[in-house]
Amino acid sequence: MPPTESRAAPQPGRVGPLRSLWLAFSWLTVAPIGTPTVTMDRRAGRAAIAVTPVVGAALGAVAAAAAFGMAHTRAPDLLVGVLVVALLALTTRGMHVDGLADTADALGCYGPPERVREVMRDGGVGPFGVAALIGAAAVDAICIGTLTGENRWYAIGFAIGSSRIAAVVGCRWTRGPADSTGFGALVAGTQRWSIACWILLAAAAAYPLGVRGFVAVAIVVVGSWLFTAHCARRVGGVNGDLLGAAIELSTIAALLAFVL
């Protein structure tokens, strides 16, 4: 997940909305915008996580535009889906898929939270992680290809954008960090009212999609709440890998809501 420090000189004080967006995009995407000069503390972490769905909306727009463009070529719908999934992995530095693999491997082991965190920190990918990556990529590609064939561009963008609410839900006020250092220490337990705000905004954005749009929002919110609660118990708190896994699984759930 994103680094916990900035090489630039820190700037104390409140992190404003524009600086929050700047920080979130620099953390969560490959956008060549540099890193704002802010103190990397829980104030900055709270501000960046609170605007993470904006990053998701931008990524969703990029994915939908890419699918729309490739739909006007001779590429089969499934190939379009595969290429869009690859594009999303590249634009997010592969952080979320890495988090999914690490979380799958960690949940697949037995032992106390210390052992689970040790597996998460291991640089390799085990059998559970490989299975999770292949399964997630396959489902995403098939769903995006199906939606491409049906010209449902907004549904593609909405599914990807709304999935980032999972990160906000995962950082809710009742969950502490798994470790005293790292990304989780910056963001765990920092979100409260932002959760309600994003649920309402997502519900409003889902209106053009009808019932399936509202179902997608509900699945993302409830599913990420339950998933992060379970993982936090196993891991001993929230960390970056857990949040990345929640985002990836929420993307799958939202896409499935539109194709099943």
Tokens standing for residue 10: 């820190």
Alpha-carbon separation of residue 229 from 44, 74, 118, 256 (angstroms): 23, 44, 19, 22
Question: pLDDT, tens digit, for every residue of 165-193?
Answer: 999 999 999 999 988 888 889 999 999 99
pLDDT at 7: 38
d(CA 149, CA 240): 34
Quote the number of domains for the chain. 1
Q: Quick check: is 24 in a domain? A: no
Average pLDDT, the chain: 91
| 244 or 35: which leads in pLDDT | 244
Question: 238 φ, ψ to 5°?
Answer: -100, 140
Confidence of residue 6 (pLDDT cuts 50, 70, 90): very low
**Amino acid found at 214:** F
Q: Quick check: is 172 in a domain? A: yes
Q: Quick check: is 248 in a domain? A: yes
Task: Choose from 98-102, 143-147, 184-188 the range with maximum mean pLDDT.
Answer: 143-147
| 35 or 256: which leads in pLDDT | 256
Q: Quick check: is 21 in a domain? A: no
Enter the pTM of the model. Answer: 0.91
What's the domain range around 194? 53-259
Q: Quick check: is 13 in a domain? A: no
Q: Quick check: is 157 in a domain? A: yes
Residue 202 · residue 165 · CB < 8 Å: yes
pLDDT at 14: 66
Q: Quick check: is 27 in a domain? A: no
Tokens standing for residue 193: 């009212």
Q: Quick check: is 37 in a domain? A: no
d(CA 254, CA 1): 22
